[in-house]
Structure 1
C-alpha cells in the first residue's frame, strides 16, 4: 500500500521463494499474521530466522499459540519474534500506514486485518479476513458483523474455502456429530477422531463435555499428541475466550477432569494399543499413525474424519474410503482393509465447519460493500464458483488470481454500487403424499435478511387472504416452544431443575448461572424441582 510492502500470513513450509533474488533487502516491510493455524503461520519462524529485522505482528492470543506450529523444537528455544497488537485499536506502523484488528471467529486469536494508507488527498483501506466464521462456536465468538458493517474498504481480500456450499446450522452440525458418537458407543464401538492440533479437537472436547447426550455418562475421553498440547495452550488463553467459557472453567476444569463424567484424560503412550478394551473416545493428531490405537481383536472402532470442502457431492462411505486409501492414511488402509470390509472398522466423515459457507461469505461482502473483492484460500473450482456469482459480478470488481499473479486494482474516487438484485423469486411447489415441498432458487440466500430467516431452518406458514406467507422461526421462539414440551420426569435436565426460571439458570453454583438454557440442557449441580422429585418417587 503506497510505498509499503506488506506480507499477509506465511504458511509456506519452504520460504525460499520469498528470499529469491534478495541480497540485503527484506522481502517485505512488515508481516501480519491472521491466526496460528499452520497454513497461515508455519513459515514465520523460518522467515524470522532468515530476516531477523523483519517485524512480525499478530494478536496477543495468536502469539501464544504460534509455537504449536513447531512442536519438534524445544519451546524454550523458540524466540518470541511476534509482536502482539491490541484488538479494535488502530496502530500506526509508519507514516500514513495504520492497522486495526477485529476478531474473526474460527480460532482463538484469529483476526480480520484492516489496513489504512493515508495521503494528503485521501485514505485507502484494505480488509483481509484471514479465515473467518460468523457463527459462535463452543470456544470462539463469531466475527462481529456489526463492527464491520458499512466499512466500505476499497479492497477486500477474503477466503472462499467452502465456495458456494451451504451448511446446516451450527447447532445441527454439533447434534449430528454427538448423535453419531453416541450411537457408536451404544453399539460397543470405540471412536477415533484424528484432528488438527488447534481448533477442531478442542471444540469437540467442549461439545462432548457439555452436550446432554454425554453429561453424566460413564465414558473415558482420551486426548493424545499435539491435541493435548493444544488443550494446555487454550488453558493459558482463558482471558481471551468467551465469558461463558470462563464461567464454565470457574466451576469445573475446562478439559482435564477425571471426576465429572465423561472423564477427560491424557493418553499415556503405553496405553495406546489397549485403550479400546472398553468403548471410549480417542482424539489424536490428524498426522498420527492410526494403527497405534486400533487393536481390532479387542473391540471394533469407528473412525470419524472431518469433512473437507473437496468431499461435497459424494456419499460419506465412498468419500471416507477414498480418503483413507489415497489421501491421508494409506498404510492404515492397507493394514485394515479386511476389517473395513467385515465391519470391525468403520470410517465415516462429519461436518463441524470452522469456516463460513457460501451464504455467510456473500453476507459479509454485502455488509462491507468494497470496490474490489479478491478471493483466496480455497479449491480453484470453489473460488471460481464464488467469483461467477451474478450477485457479486453485478455489484463489485471480483478477482480470483492464481498464485504468483500480480493483480491490478484501480481505485476510483467514488464507487457507485448498482442497485441490489431483484427481490422477487420464482420457485416450484410439489405435493407428494402428505408432504408439500416449496423449492426456491439459491439466489434468495444472498439477501442479508436470509441469515435471520433461515437461522433455525424452521418456518411457519399462514394464510393472509389468498396468499401464503412464510416466516422463519427464531431461536428465541424455539426456546419458548420447547419449554412447553413435556420431559421425562426422571431426566436430569434444565427443564426439570428447581433453579430454572424464565428460561434462565439462577443457581449461583452452576456454570450456567445467568445464561439462557434449553429445557434439555444439563449441568453437574442439577437439583430436581419439588414436583418432579415427588413424581419420580
Structure 2
C-alpha cells in the first residue's frame, strides 16, 4: 500500500501561518507557505523541502514565506491560480517601489495538470478571496508485480466560503459533490459556530455605521486584503450610504489592494464588472459617498466632519484620531478580535496597535469570509472523504469540530498541532480515536428571585473561558430549545446602550444608585478600582460594576 501522510509545519493556530507537506507515494507536495520563519523547511544538504509547491491564495498566512522560499530554492516550482499570482506581490510591498520577481506559475481552473509521473492537480474556485483555490491532487501508483495500480485523491480547500460575497463567488459545491477523496484537508476557522445570512451581516454593519455617523462619530475600519475591498463596495452600494455626503478614506495596503483589484477586474463576478462600467469600482470623487486615497494633506483634516477610514490591520490608528478620540469609533472584525484574545490568553505578543487601541471606543462586527460550522459540515458530507484533517483556526474551535458526533461517526478525523506527522492509512483497518470530551454536566437550581447554573471548574481550563468570564456578567438568550450563554466583555459595558440596560437594573433594585459617578474610584472619567472589570477604562458617570464603593462626603479624590 502506498504511503500517504502529512507533516504540519504550520496549521494556522493562534494566527500562525499554514504550511503542510503532503507525502503521497514518493512525491512531496508543499501546500501553502505562510511561515514567517522558514528554518523548519531548510536542511543541511541544501535540498528543497518538496518536489513542488501549490499555493491556495494570496493571504499572508498562506503565502508570506513563498518569496523567501523561492530565493532559497530558485528551481523549486511554485503554482497558483492566475489571479493569485497577480495578488501575491501585495505580501512584499517595497516602499522604494521595487516589485518582487514573478516566480509563481499560473494554473487554469478545472483543468488537470500532470506535474510528475502519475501526479496531477486540478484547482477549483474556493470563494473567500479572488483567485482562492481548492486543490485536488490525484496520484496513481505504478503497478507492481501481482499488485494492480491504485489511485489516491487528496482535496485541500485552503480557506473556503460557500456563500457569495460582493466581490467573490462561493465555492461551487455542485461540481465537487460525491467526489469521495481519500483525504480532505479543510479549514475550520469558526469551529461549530453558526452565523446569520451574509446579507444580514452586511445590513447589521451598515446600520451600526449609519448610527455612528448620525451621532457625529467618525469610523475607522482596520481590514485585511479582501475584507477591505468588500467593506468599500458595501459602503458604496448600500442604501444607507448611496448619495450621502460622506468621505471614505482608504490608506496603506488596503489602497494598494484596491489598485490590484482593478487589474484583475475581468476575473471578478459579472455584477461587479457591470457596476464598474457605470462608475469607478473604488476611487471616485464625483459620486457620493466619495472614496479617496488618504494623503498627508487630507490626514490633517480628519474628524472635522464625520468620515470613514478603511486601513491596514497593522496601522497605527493614532495618526487618524489623536486630536479627538471621543469623536471616533473603532470597528474590528470579529475574527481579528478573537485572534487577539487567543494570543493574549496564550501569553503571546499582542496584536498590532489597531486591535489594542484602549483610548478609543471599540466594537466588533461579523462579516464572515469563512464557512461557519454548518457550512463546514455541509462540505464534508457532500464530499464523503475517508479522512478529514482540520487546520486553520484555534485549537479549541477545531477540537469542537472533531467532537461532533455527525462527523466522528462517519469519518476518520484529525486535528494536528504544528510539527506533527499525520499518517493517513487508506483502508478499513484504521481505528477512530475517541472524540474529545467538550461537554460539561452541571446543575440548575430555581430560587424565588433567580436561577443558578452550577458547572464543574474543569470548564475554566478551556482558553475561551477567560473571554466568557471576563467581567463576571453574562447574557442568556434562547436559540430554539437551547439556552445560549455569552459573556459581556469590558468594551460592551462601555457602550451607551449597555450602560442604559445595566442602569435599568440598578434603578429597579438599588435605591442607592450605585453608579460610577457615585463611586469613590471614579476620577477623570475613568475607573481606578483595580478590582473592577472596568479598571483603567473610560466610563460614563451612569455606569455600573459589581465592585461599587460609595464615595463619602469630602472623600472625592483628585484626578491622578
The normalised TM-score by structure 1 is 0.72
Change (3 A) 1:250 1:371: same
3-state secondary structure, aligned to 2:332: strand
Distance in 2 (alpha carbons) for counterparts of 1:332 and 1:393: 36
Answer whether contact 1:277 1:298 (CA < 8 A) is retained.
no
What residue number does 2:328 align with? 301
Out of 369, 383, 388, the position equivalent to 1:368 is: 383
Aligned-partner Cα distance in 2 for 1:217–1:177:
17
Cα deviation, residue 241, structure 1: 0.4
2 CA distance for matches of 1:28 and 1:328? 32
Matches within 5 A, 1:210-289: 210-289=237-316
Compared CA separation, residues 330 and 82, structure 1 to 2 (3 A): closer
In structure 1, the partner of 2:452 is none
Residue of structure 2 in register with 1:525 after alignment: none
Shift of 1:310: 6.9
The CA deviation at 1:99 is 0.3
Q: Deviations over 1:174-195 (max 9, x none)?
A: 0010000011111100001111
Q: Which residue of 1 aligns with 2:79?
A: 57
Deviations 1:37-70 (A, max 9, x none): 0000000000000000100000000000000001
Separation of aligned partners in 1, 2:480 and 2:245: 45
1:316-359 per-residue CA deviation (whole Å, 9 max, x = no partner) reads xx99x99xxx83356996xx75xx5xxxx421111101111111
Determine the structure 1 residue equivalent to 2:449: none
Question: Among 130, 134, 137, which residue is 2:158 paired with?
Answer: 130
**Alignment of structure 1 residues 386-535 onto 2, 5 Å:** 386-412=401-427, 439-440=480-481
SS in 2 for 1:127: strand
What is the CA distance between 1:389 and its match in structure 2?
0.7
Alpha-carbon offset, residue 206 of structure 1: 0.5
* Distance (whole Å) between structure 1 residues aligned to residue 187 and residue 117 of structure 2: 29
**Hey, what does 1:189 align to over in structure 2?**
217
Quick check: 1:306–1:352 contact (8 Å CA) kept in 2? Answer: yes
Structure 1 residues 209 and 408, CA gap change in structure 2 (3 angstroms)? same
**Which residue pairs with 1:78 in the alignment?**
100
1:10–1:42 contact (8 Å) kept in structure 2: yes
Q: Distance in 2 between matches of 1:238 and 1:347?
A: 34
Please state how far the C-alpha of 1:270 moved relative to its aligned partner: 3.0
Aligned length: 406
Q: Distance in 2 between matches of 1:210 and 1:264?
A: 12
Q: Deviations over 1:439-467 (max 9, x none)?
A: 2579xxxxxxxxxxxxxxxxxxxxxxxxx
| Separation in structure 2 between the aligned mates of residue 157 and residue 294 of structure 1, nearest angstrom | 43
State the 1:17 CA deviation.
Answer: 1.1
Structure 1 stretches (4+) deviating beyond 6 angstroms?
none
SS in 2 for 1:391: helix
**Contact persistence 2:80–2:106 (CA under 8 A):** yes
Q: Alignment partner of 1:232: what SS?
A: helix
Q: 1:45 to 1:359 in 2, by over 3 A?
A: same
Structure-2 change in CA distance of 1:122 and 1:413 (3 Å):
farther
**Separation of aligned partners in 2, 1:75 and 1:369:** 48
Q: Matches of 1:9 and 1:73 in 2, distance apart? A: 26
Task: Name 2:32's counterpart in structure 1.
Answer: 9
Residue deviations 1:482-520 (CA, integer Å, cap 9, x gap): xxxxxxxxxxxxxxxxxxxxxxxxxxxxxxxxxxxxxxx
Distance 1:309 1:381 in 2: 16
- Which of 218, 225, 229 does residue 202 from structure 1 map onto? 229
Which residue, 107, 116, 126 being the options, matches 1:104? 126
- 2:65 maps to what in 1? 43
**CA distance 1:16–1:221, shift in 2 (3 Å):** same
Answer whether contact 1:190 1:299 (CA < 8 A) is retained: no
SS at match of 2:271: helix
Q: Is the 8 A contact 1:276 1:299 kept in 2?
A: no
Name the SS for the 2:376 alignment partner. Answer: helix
Q: Judging changes above 3 Å, is the alpha-carbon distance between structure 1 residues 94 and 273 closer, same or farther for their aligned structure 2 residues? A: same
Deviates more, 1:148-157 or 1:261-270: 261-270
User: Do the aligned residues in 2 keep the contact of 1:162 with 1:309 (CA within 8 Å)?
Assistant: no
CA distance in 2, matches of 1:171, 1:77: 37
Q: Classify the secondary structure of the residue corresponding to 1:54.
A: coil
Q: Quick one: structure 1 residues 190 and 309, their matched pair in 2 at CA, closer, same or farther if it must change by over 3 Å?
A: closer
* SS of match in other structure, 1:276: coil
1:153-186 per-position Cα deviation (integer Å, ceiling 9, x unaligned): 0000001111101111100100010000011111
3-state secondary structure, aligned to 1:166: coil
- 8 A Cα contact 2:57 2:129, kept in partner: yes
Q: Does 2:117 correspond to 1:95?
A: yes
**Unmatched runs of 5 consecutive residues or more in structure 2:** 1-23, 144-148, 431-476, 484-560
Matched residue, 1:355: 370
Q: In 2 relative to 1, CA 282–123 (structure 1 residues): closer, same or farther, beyond 3 Å?
A: same
**In 2, Cα distance between equivalents of 1:229 and 1:15:** 26
TM-score normalised by L of structure 2: 0.69
Distance 1:254 1:126 in 2: 38
Q: Does 1:328 align with 2:351?
A: yes
Partner Cα separation in structure 1 for residue 276 and residue 94 of structure 2: 30
Q: For the residues of structure 2 that align with 1:306 and 1:6, how far apart are their CA atoms?
A: 33
Contact 1:67 1:75 (C-alpha < 8 Å) held by counterparts: no
1:420-448 residue CA offsets vs partner (Å, 9 max, x unmatched): xxxxxxxxxxxxxxxx9882579xxxxxx
Q: Secondary structure at the match of 1:39?
A: helix
Question: Residue 293 of structure 1 aligns to a residue in which SS?
Answer: helix
Aligned to 1:167: 195
Residue 162 of structure 2 aligns to a residue whose secondary structure is coil
Residue 276 of structure 1, CA deviation: 1.2
